[in-house]
Amino acid sequence: MSNESRAGGGTLFDIESPMAIELRRIMIRIGRKVDFDRKRALMVTSAERGEGKSLFSLHFALVLAYHLPSRILLVDADVRRPVQHTVFQHPLAPGFANLLSGEAKVAEAVRPTKIKNLDFLSAGDPEGHPSRLFGGHNVRDVVADLHKTYDIVLLDSPPTVPVSDPLHFLDAVDGVIYMVMAGQTPKEMSKRGVEILQSAGANILGAVANNLGEVLPYYYDQKYYGYEKSRKKRRA
């Protein structure tokens, strides 16, 4: 694989860029917590829209595929506002929503990418009632089915404050990566997102702050509150 990773017809990013190096650091730190030698599922979320979770999910999936000897699946799990299928130039359906509803099988919904070891599952068509898809153990059962083929399943999840969808993912994943747009997301909004996840028993692996300094993103091993501490240092 060349230093430039591609999807569809365009260049996604340089695997040796400062951002890719920072993402590799995140991969190493998270790997120490969840052990990537075993089958794992991770969820990327944020408090609200516009905090960079989808872009992070895309680039993090590329880094995982480049550096790990594992089969990686990126899932656009935001069935209300899907975006990843436009990057990979794949159809929206069949996809994640159609697997949840039982209208499609994994073999017909998952699509290969031009990146070695990385496949993609688009959001699919929820047919107007997304909340009905997540009842019972639907998400857990779908992820378990995906693990028959894939070592690491990375879910680009909806934000936690506007909708309850991400809480249905928690019993299906081994940990949560929490995104924050540094200098933009109100502190109380981000704290609210963390509280929602914690109250549901989420295993928050750490927070990733976008727009922090020259290198994007920056990972915090501790809870989100380290973000405010870092902002104070920047003002000093």
Two tokens, residue 56: 């992070």
Which residues touch 195 (CB under 8 Å, ≥6 apart)? none
CATH number at residue 149: 3.40.50.300
Task: Note the pTM of the prediction, 2 decimals.
Answer: 0.84
Place of tokens 């549901």: 200
The sign of the dihedral angle between the CA atoms of 39, 24, 207, 113 is negative
Task: Tell whether 134 is covered by a domain.
Answer: yes
Structural domain harbouring 73: 37-178
Task: Tell whether 226 is covered by a domain.
Answer: no
pLDDT (0 to 100) of residue 222: 35
Task: Tell whether 185 is covered by a domain.
Answer: no
Task: Tell whether 95 is covered by a domain.
Answer: yes
pLDDT (0 to 100) of residue 12: 55
The rounded distance, in Å, linking the Cα atoms of 43 and 53 is 10
pLDDT (0 to 100) of residue 231: 38
pLDDT (0 to 100) of residue 21: 87
pLDDT (0 to 100) of residue 224: 31
Other CB atoms within 10 A of residue 82 CB: 22
Q: What radius of gyration do the chain's Cα atoms show?
A: 17
pLDDT (0 to 100) of residue 10: 46
pLDDT (0 to 100) of residue 51: 79
pLDDT (0 to 100) of residue 187: 87
Quote the number of domains for the chain: 1
The rounded distance, in Å, linking the Cα atoms of 158 and 165 is 7
The rounded distance, in Å, linking the Cα atoms of 1 and 48 is 35
Per-residue pLDDT of the chain (236 residues; tens, 9 = 90+): 344 555 544 455 677 788 888 899 999 999 999 999 999 999 999 998 877 899 899 999 999 999 999 999 999 999 999 999 999 999 999 999 999 999 999 999 999 999 999 999 999 998 877 888 888 899 999 999 999 999 999 999 999 999 999 999 999 999 999 998 877 778 899 999 999 999 999 999 999 888 654 434 544 443 333 333 333 443 44
Task: Tell whether 5 is covered by a domain.
Answer: no
The rounded distance, in Å, linking the Cα atoms of 235 and 230 is 9
Task: Tell whether 216 is covered by a domain.
Answer: no
Task: Tell whether 189 is covered by a domain.
Answer: no
Task: Tell whether 234 is covered by a domain.
Answer: no
